[in-house]
Amino acid sequence: MNLAILDGDQVVNIEKLPSAHYIRDIGWIGRRSPLHCTATGKALVAHLARVELRRLLGARLKRFTPHTICDWATLEAELAQVRRVGYALGREELEPGLVAVAAPIQGLGGRVAGAVSVSGPSFRMPPTAIEAYAPHVVAAAATISHKLGHSGQAMAG
């Protein structure tokens, strides 16, 4: 499990609980990653106003793999899905073979304070497994949010 925050125009991992598996996502603490192609990044920015989102990401969405979302319409549709279901997916968009599910953590007033995720190699986390992890990740984010003083009001960016 990973804990990440928004720092400028990137997502930064600030804590990690390592997997017991030999083959795993490293998710280094302090690692900076793009927002548009990571589950934690998408969870962090899904509730931002469109103008703020475009300011953070810039005009061009950089491609990292064949699965990277590089056009605004597709990204905005994906972020709308994140808002609907409460979690974001990363499907080999930053690194081939790396998949993740993340949910936003809310602080006081419903402001997004961070994101929690589970990630791993795609051979161990096929789409059905990722979807099975999603409710647990959302529950973990809700528990952390509650401990931060979130009272359940509407989410803000």
Q: Which of 24-38, 41-55, 82-96 has the lowest mean pLDDT?
A: 24-38
pLDDT (mean) for 124-147:
91
**CATH number (domain holding residue 91):** 3.30.450.40
Look at residue 152 in the predicted model and tell me its pLDDT.
Answer: 72
SS (H, E, C) 64-132: CCCCCCCCHHHHHHHHHHHHHHCCEEEECCCCCCEEEEEEEEECHHHEEEEEEEEEEECCCCCHHHHHH
Q: Is residue 84 assigned to a domain?
A: yes
Look at residue 69 in the predicted model and tell me its pLDDT.
Answer: 96
Q: Is residue 123 assigned to a domain?
A: yes
* % of residues, the chain, pLDDT over 70: 89
Q: Is residue 53 assigned to a domain?
A: yes
Look at residue 29 in the predicted model and tell me its pLDDT.
Answer: 75
Domain of residue 83 covers: 2-147
- Report how many domains make up the chain: 1
Look at residue 94 in the predicted model and tell me its pLDDT.
Answer: 96
Tens of pLDDT, residues 33-82: 999 999 999 999 999 999 999 999 988 999 999 999 999 999 999 999 99
- Alpha carbon distances (Å) from 66 to 33, 37, 69, 72, 92: 17, 11, 9, 16, 8
Q: Band of the pLDDT at 31, cuts 50, 70, 90?
A: confident
**What's the mean per-residue pLDDT of the chain?**
88
* % of residues, the chain, pLDDT over 90: 66
Q: Is residue 157 assigned to a domain?
A: no
pTM for this model (two decimals) = 0.89
Q: Is residue 152 assigned to a domain?
A: no
Q: Is residue 155 assigned to a domain?
A: no
